Amino acid sequence: MNPPIIDIERLVGELQQLATISDCPEPPPAVTRVVFTETDLRARDYLRSLYEAAGLAVRVDAIGNTFARWEGSEPSLGAVGTGSHCDAIPHAGLYDGTVGVLGGLEAIRALQAAGFQPRRSIEVVMFTSEEPTRFGVGCTGSRLMSGAMSPADLVKLTDEVGDDYDTVRKRAGFSGDLASAKLPNGYYEAFVELHIEQGPELEANDLAIGVVTAIAAPAQADFTVTGEGGHAGAVLMPRRRDALIASAAMVSAIDSVARASKSPDMVATVGKLEVHPGAVNSIPSRVRFTLDLRDIDGANRDAVLKEIEDEVDRIAVERGVKVEHRILNADPPAISDKNVVSAAVSAAESLNLGYQEMISRAYHDSLFMARVAPMGMIFIPCRGGVSHRPDEYSSPEAIAAGVQALALTLASLAG
């Protein structure tokens, strides 16, 4: 089929319009959009208006996963899915996730305009809560859809103020039996997500398309260190059991253990650290910090996680403090489906787009969709590989090429 025409002005305009729906104190391109907030709901309303304008049938599940469907000529067949997320971590950029949702919509509109008629229905999905910001665990929407997380485990998650997932989703207006969110077997024939690379490779290699062959295995844990507080002036150094000094040693040990790992793909991040009571002249009595640990090899990651836990326990004894740690998630990596990979490769080749096969170091909802459908991902370059920052950027040309490759991939899978 002829290359579908992408209306990139319209698409960039929609991305920028979506970016204005934000809680970030800074103006766009900085974006903050946390799941189940008023802002999240306004963004969903905006997206729904675009789906309906494209004539798509919209379905929303019990936790807000949103499915916009272009009915195929054989609607009983498993559909072909695409999509991503629209929630954004604090002070994020405007392209992470949104390129996959609005780009998926644009791919459908371009195929419609080209007169293509899919046999299998094509759905663009907006997953609820890909980011771990509110509930500490990412991808709760695709975890529930794929069965990777049970409803019983989902409702145990609480947000920063201690409200549980079920309370928060209902307050946001989502109801219904959580078990109904699990996709029936064969619901999708294939699932392909378009996403910015969030890394430097494609730009460095001057390539338009990344065809993802595997998604790294993410694990998250949190640590609570309890020492003894006291007066900053009155407690002499030998008598101190300072929770923050002990935590600093633990955080430094995490960095050393990860760097000493034999795996070049091992990455460890302590992204959040809270000090109690947090007063200038009071010795920290309690510190809580998080760990994000990833590798493309799940066994490697688990071995380093165990090493970190042991090291943290040793430091706690040495420093005379108590430490509790819990693992929030330790997911296996996902491997892309060969047929979906070759459909994306053929699309790039037919468009004369430079491409490479590569792994995804960021996780995505596709990590879980791989459990219920043959999965693939298409990456586009982002400037300097920067992401999760306001200066995250992908050019209109890069976005248009990615959407065109996605459209041809979807057409070949749904034809």
Interaction of residue 392 with ligand HGY, rule CB under 6 A = no
Task: Report which residue's Cβ sits closest to ligand HGY.
Answer: 362
Single-letter amino acid code for the residue at 248: A
Task: Report which residue's Cβ sits closest to Mn ion.
Answer: 97
388 annotated as ligand-binding: yes
325 annotated as ligand-binding: no
276 annotated as ligand-binding: no
Contacted by 197, from Mn ion, ligand HGY, none: CB < 5 to 8 Å by type: none
Which one among 138, 151, 199, 284 touches ligand HGY, defined by CB under 6 A? Answer: 138
- Minimum CB separation of residue 327 from Mn ion in Å reads 11
Single-letter amino acid code for the residue at 87: D
For residues 215 and 244, which CB has a smaller minimum distance to ligand HGY in the complex? 215
DSSP 158: B
Measured from the Cβ of residue 17, the count of other Cβ atoms closer than 10 Å reads 14
- Rounded to a whole number of angstroms, the CA Rg of the chain reads 22
- Minimum CB separation of residue 275 from Mn ion in Å reads 21
Both tokens assigned to 316: 């706690």
231 annotated as ligand-binding: no
Cis peptide before 151 (omega within 30 of 0): no
Q: How far, in Å, CA of 104 to CA of 56, rounded?
A: 12
Q: How far, in Å, CA of 166 to CA of 155, rounded?
A: 5
Contacted by 363, from ligand HGY, Mn ion, none: CB < 5 to 8 Å by type: ligand HGY
Q: How far, in Å, CA of 92 to CA of 31, rounded?
A: 5
Helix intervals (H) in 206-337: 243-260, 298-319
Which one among 106, 123, 131, 189 touches ligand HGY, defined by CB under 6 A? Answer: 131
Containing H/E element for 98?
helix 98-113
The residues binding Mn ion (CB under 5 A) are 96-97, 313
For residues 169 and 195, which CB has a smaller minimum distance to Mn ion in the complex? 195
Each residue 350-369 as x (binds ligand HGY by CB under 6 A) or -, in order, gives ------------xx------
Q: How far, in Å, CA of 45 to CA of 118, rounded?
A: 27
Pick from 191, 217, 207: nearest CA to 357: 207
In the block, tokens 């004894």 appear at 317
Which listed range, 71-79, 119-127, 130-138, 333-341, lies at the site for ligand HGY (CB under 6 A)? Answer: 130-138
For residues 116 and 127, which CB has a smaller minimum distance to ligand HGY in the complex? 127
Both tokens assigned to 66: 């949103």
For residues 38 and 313, which CB has a smaller minimum distance to Mn ion in the complex? 313
Contacted by 138, from ligand HGY, Mn ion, none: CB < 5 to 8 Å by type: ligand HGY
Residues near ligand HGY (CB under 6 A): 130-131, 138, 362-363
Known binding residues = 85, 96, 131, 195, 388
